[in-house]
């Protein structure tokens, strides 16, 4: 985690030192993705969900072909779980239909390369700060609506890669994929595996998000 924070600070500091042109803008779009488990034995289907994403950015030009773009984003994540298992030491077969909504304040810093006129390729690290987490749905036919923020780590981090296409009037389109590297759950839970065994779950939960946005850069 400290390495990612250091990398963010270093990228931003270098971009300010060597900046030749700075412009600002707004962006809004949708996140499509899920929190994914890395354990194949954990019997849960984490289906993707949609959520609105908004943010502001500064594009710091470093010559004709390169730029650094730090951003501030409201960043939704989460998943839709539909299964016949639940976090319980009892028998399997409990219907589990729950949407998990997890929202972050994200700070990505993208290094951009202007591949051709209007088209930029980008990649860079991000750090996210947890704002809220909530689970809502039904478990065994019983409605649930719970605040689950205490079950998540307060920070996320990872890398983003993508591409952006800008029009001459300042409007641009951005497609970006975020690969979360942090383990989001604070601690393991008691769960049943596919084999019906009960024990402490040993798995990671990480963000996997595809984001599409439309923005405007003030000329």
Q: Does the predicted model carry a pTM greater than 0.95?
A: no
DSSP state of 149: G
* pLDDT above 70: residue 90: no
Q: Could you tell me if 68 and 112 are in contact, meaning their C-beta atoms sit under 8 angstroms apart?
A: yes
Q: Could you tell me if 205 and 191 are in contact, meaning their C-beta atoms sit under 8 angstroms apart?
A: no
Question: Which of 1-10, 77-86, 123-132 has the least mean pLDDT?
Answer: 1-10
* pLDDT above 60: residue 216: yes
Give the domains, in start order, of the chain with CATH numbers. 2-217 (2.40.160.20)
* pLDDT above 70: residue 88: no
**Residues 25-38: pLDDT tens digits?**
999 999 998 877 76
> What's the confidence (pLDDT) of residue 209?
94
Query: What stretch of H or E contains 6?
Result: helix 2-17
- CA 164 to each of CA 64, 69, 82, 118: distance values in angstroms, whole numbers, following the listed order: 16, 12, 35, 8
* pLDDT above 70: residue 164: yes
Other C-beta atoms lying within 10 Å of the C-beta of residue 16: 13
- CA 62 to each of CA 111, 116, 218: distance values in angstroms, whole numbers, following the listed order: 10, 16, 18
Over range 160-183, report the average pLDDT: 95
> What's the confidence (pLDDT) of residue 187?
61
* pLDDT above 50: residue 191: no
CA atoms 102, 104, 109, 110: torsion sign: positive
* pLDDT above 90: residue 119: yes
Q: Could you tell me if 105 and 77 are in contact, meaning their C-beta atoms sit under 8 angstroms apart?
A: no
pLDDT greater at residue 159 or residue 198: 159
What percentage of the chain reaches a pLDDT higher than 70? 73
Q: Which residues pair with 128 in a beta bridge?
A: 106, 156
Closest by alpha carbon to 120, among 177, 72, 68? 68
> What's the confidence (pLDDT) of residue 123?
96
């Amino acid at each position: 985690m400290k390495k990612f924070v250091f990398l963010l600070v270093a990228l931003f500091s270098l971009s300010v030192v060597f900046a030749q042109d700075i412009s600002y803008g707004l962006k809004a779009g949708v996140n499509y993705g899920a929190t994914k488990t890395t354990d194949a034995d954990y019997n849960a289907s984490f289906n993707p969900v949609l959520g609105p994403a908004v943010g502001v950015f500064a594009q710091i030009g470093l010559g004709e072909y390169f730029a650094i773009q730090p951003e501030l984003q409201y960043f939704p994540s989460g998943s839709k779980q539909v299964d016949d298992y639940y976090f319980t030491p009892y028998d399997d077969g409990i219907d589990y239909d729950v949407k998990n909504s997890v929202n972050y304040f994200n700070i990505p810093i993208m290094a951009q390369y202007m591949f051709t006129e209007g088209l930029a390729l980008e990649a860079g690290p991000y750090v996210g700060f947890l704002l809220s987490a909530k689970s809502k749905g039904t478990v065994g036919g019983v409605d649930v609506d719970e605040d689950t923020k205490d079950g998540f780590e307060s920070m996320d981090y990872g890398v983003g890669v993508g591409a952006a296409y800008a029009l001459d009037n300042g409007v641009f389109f951005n497609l970006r994929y975020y690969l979360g590297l942090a383990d989001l759950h604070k601690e393991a839970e008691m769960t049943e595996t596919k084999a019906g065994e009960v024990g402490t779950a040993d798995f990671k939960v990480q963000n996997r998000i595809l984001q599409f946005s439309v923005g405007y850069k003030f000329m």
